[in-house]
Amino acid sequence: MLRQYELVDRVLDYDPDADEALLNRAYVFSMQAHGSQKRASGDPYFSHPIEVAGILTDLRLDDETIATAILHDTIEDTVATPEEITRLFGGNVARLVDGVTKLSKIEAQTENERAAENLRKFLLAMSGDIRVLLVKLADRLHNMRTLHHIPKPEKRRRIAKETMDIYAPLAERIGMYEFMKEMQTLAFQQLEPDAYASITKRLNQLHEGGGDLISRISSGLRLQLSRADIPAEIQGREKHPYSIWRKMQERHISFEQLSDIMAFRAIVPTVEDCYTALGIIHRRWPMVPGRFKDYISTPKRNGYRSLHTSVIHADNARIEIQIRTPEMHAEAEGERRHTKNHRKRGHQDRPQTDLGGLQKGLRTFKTLSACLIGKVN
Ligand code: MN
């Protein structure tokens, strides 16, 4: 568990103006309020809100959000009152804690898919301040990380299913892709243990050659292209177990038939370079029939342009490659708006900037859910 000074230091690290006294007060208050309560793991209950706060410091969130995370279960699970929270931590933190408490109450009501859909709308509508939602998502993420401590299998499954149906999609909608992936991985492991085991085993086999396969293939691609004097930026990623499984289910194919477990993107200066690069790649590695798409000569309806192909790399591993120019790349990214995981953004970004982007995304969803709920009322 993070110690008090460690947590405070983390916040001061990215926000020197953070209210240190507020964080210290919240830490001590929460520790005393939760007292001797225990988690299923046997850890003191208090370790949970602190870990949730820790997760949020990775996102460089402001002092009020961190204090909210530390206090988020005090109203629901201890004798602490909203008045006390207001008096000790101010109106903003009290409102945020109240928001998280309300979300937890609605959460307890879900029963079926339909209820889940309603819950999703409510979650969005009620999170007038996106920080409420961020605390709730971090809360769920930590509960998923510690799910294996819960003794009853039915309870574990229920929580995992709810995470898959509600929280992972919510994380995705507001652009928190790392949260989404980790939630899906943990829930998948719980819901489909055999499939999870077999996919991770195969992923491990892929990596047996040693080292980081993604970066080895990336350098190979870069080298091939540089020999033809094409300076390329190569990006690579590996699908996570749940999205591999979903793809296998959707397309009724085996792990070996999947071509995009590893996907790469080559960003090259000109359209001509795109076609030259494609030729080089197809000469070097055999292409997978039926997977080549020329969205440069025939763009998608939304204007998307790129060359797509799949090739058989060493050891029969199929890899997917997209080739595009920087302009095409910017357009494609603009289309996906929140694609970038903001954790990976430059350090010069202030936490407020991160919130700004998320806030914009949420406003859209709030309007949407307000409309939907308005119709019901
Ligand atoms: Mn909690």
Alpha carbon distance 50, 28 (integer Å): 11
pLDDT digits (tens, 9 = 90+) for 225-269: 999 999 999 999 888 999 999 989 998 988 878 877 889 999 999
Alpha carbon distance 270, 145 (integer Å): 45
Confidence of residue 107 (pLDDT cuts 50, 70, 90): low
Residue 298 near residue 247, CB atoms below 8 Å? no
Alpha carbon distance 190, 181 (integer Å): 14
What's the 71 CA to ligand 1 centre distance in angstroms? 9
Residue 312 near residue 262, CB atoms below 8 Å? no
* Residue 292 or residue 207, greater confidence: 292
What's the 136 CA to ligand 1 centre distance in angstroms? 8
Burial of residue 113, with CB atoms counted within 10 A of its CB: 0-12 exposed, 13-18 middle, 19 or more buried: exposed
* Residue 236 or residue 103, greater confidence: 236
The Cβ-side half-sphere exposure at 71, using a 13 Å CA radius, reads 33
SS3 318: strand
- DSSP-assigned letter for residue 2: -
Q: Which of 20, 43, 77, 294 is catalytic?
A: 77
Confidence of residue 345 (pLDDT cuts 50, 70, 90): very low
Two tokens at 17? 């103006």
What's the 270 CA to ligand 1 centre distance in angstroms? 51
What's the 109 CA to ligand 1 centre distance in angstroms? 16
Does 62 qualify as catalytic in the annotation? Answer: no
What's the 70 CA to ligand 1 centre distance in angstroms? 9
Nearest Cα neighbor of 206 from 244, 170, 174 is 244
Strand order in the sheet with 233-238: 233-238, 262-267, 318-324, 307-312, 293-294
Two tokens at 178? 């790392």
Distances in whole angstroms, Cα of residue 20 to Cα of each of 10, 83, 93, 94? 11, 22, 14, 17
Q: What are the phi and psi torsion angles at 185 (to 5°)?
A: -60, -45
- Predicted confidence at residue 254, as pLDDT, reads 87
Nearest Cα neighbor of 136 from 109, 171, 111 is 171
What is the mean pLDDT of the segment spanning 307-331? 90
For residue 276, give every residue at least 6 positions away whose Cβ sits within 8 Å of its Cβ, in sequence order, or none: 228, 230
- Predicted confidence at residue 343, as pLDDT, reads 35
Residue 210 has pLDDT above 80, yes or no: no
Q: CB 254: neighbour CB atoms within 10 A?
A: 9
SS3 36: coil
What's the 30 CA to ligand 1 centre distance in angstroms? 12
What's the 156 CA to ligand 1 centre distance in angstroms? 16
Pair type for strands 293-294 and 262-267: unpaired
What's the 139 CA to ligand 1 centre distance in angstroms? 5
Residue 209 has pLDDT above 70, yes or no: no
Q: Which of 13, 58, 76, 327 is catalytic?
A: 76
Does 349 qualify as catalytic in the annotation? Answer: no
* Residue 315 or residue 349, greater confidence: 315
What is the mean pLDDT of the segment spanning 38-46? 91
* Residue 273 or residue 125, greater confidence: 273
Q: Give all strands (DSSP E) within the chain, no chain letters.
A: 233-238, 262-267, 293-294, 307-312, 318-324
SS3 341: coil
What's the 137 CA to ligand 1 centre distance in angstroms? 10
What's the 204 CA to ligand 1 centre distance in angstroms? 33
What's the 283 CA to ligand 1 centre distance in angstroms? 55
Alpha carbon distance 209, 96 (integer Å): 49
What's the 100 CA to ligand 1 centre distance in angstroms? 9
Two tokens at 250? 């959707």
* Residue 106 or residue 347, greater confidence: 106
Question: Which residues, listed in sequence order, are joined to residue 307 by a DSSP beta bridge?
Answer: 294, 323
Least confident of 107-121, 157-171, 228-242: 107-121
Residue 70 near residue 27, CB atoms below 8 Å? yes
What's the 143 CA to ligand 1 centre distance in angstroms? 7
